[in-house]
Amino acid sequence: MNAGIIGIGRCVPDRILTNTELEKMVDTTDEWVRTRTGIEERRIAGEDQNTSDLGFEAAKKAIEDSGITPEQIDLILVATVTPDQPFPSVACMLQERLGAKKAAAMDVSAACAGFMYGVVTAKQFIETGSYSYVLVVGVEKLSKITDWTDRNTAVLFGDGAGAVVMGPVSDGKGILSFELGSDGSGGKYLYQDEFIAMNGREVFKFAVRQMGESSLNVIEKAGLTKEDVDFLIPHQANIRIMEAARQRLELPVEKMSQTVSKYGNTSAASIPISLVEEVEAGKIKDNDLIVMVGFGGGLTWGAIALRWGK
């Protein structure tokens, strides 16, 4: 039994925070932010809008898109580092709000690589026949753990949610290969104390190396070559890191998702948000080979080679 994506949905807050507005908040400039990160604006959730609210909207759309009912969902996995509260989990909140009465539910904490971990976990349950349908949500309200006086991190992050319903798909479709990894010795380079703290130089070096390597690894594991890749969806952290991964795969610019300019780094939400945008824009078509790759605090990373379609 092959596990694949059968429904997608996303939700981003209405409020847009531009680089020009940030110039009034921290010592930075629009040009500096654009040239170093590729970010032009990001979305910021309202005070009354929680992580679970964003996740619920994205999940509702994904379930609708999948054609199944909430009652058919066996498991809910929510990748987040910004839950409404330590417990109950965001996944349990969604289980109740969605009416997914028989679903087990838990949160997954792997920072920006969390969605990859969630998708790979879902794959195991589906392919062993234990569960038929798994809802995977990547959602963050990073604005609540961002230090808006720190010029190094305030410009980077945004809020949002992306969700997929995973289930059995036809032969040759779905997840062909994956790679997950971690290096706890790098935890000191990206962590949360009260706010997000980051050693930008070290994270950049790690990400450039790991994104390219992991992408090539999953292509090889799937028995394919770089030439077979139709589309790359990298974690939307920094355009220079993304470009390095694209160049390793020797892909033309139009074959890489680039939503970082609109949403900034939304951590676990960035890959599913990008996936939804590209499918809706018609850039991802049935039978396309997609590589999704992310990295995050931990340090963690994950990559998936996926044949699109049901």
- Catalytically active residues are 112, 235, 265
Helix (H) or strand (E) holding 257: none
Phi, psi of 152 (to 5 degrees): -75, -30
Cβ atoms 159, 44 nearer than 8 A: yes
Distance CA(23)–CA(34), nearest Å, equals 12
The DSSP letter of residue 169 is: E
Exposure b/e, 38-74, CB count within 10 A at least 16 = b:
bbbbbbbbeeebbbbbbbbbbbbbbbebbebebebbb
Within 50-168, where are the H helices?
A: 51-66, 90-98, 114-127
Q: Three-state DSSP class for 289?
A: strand
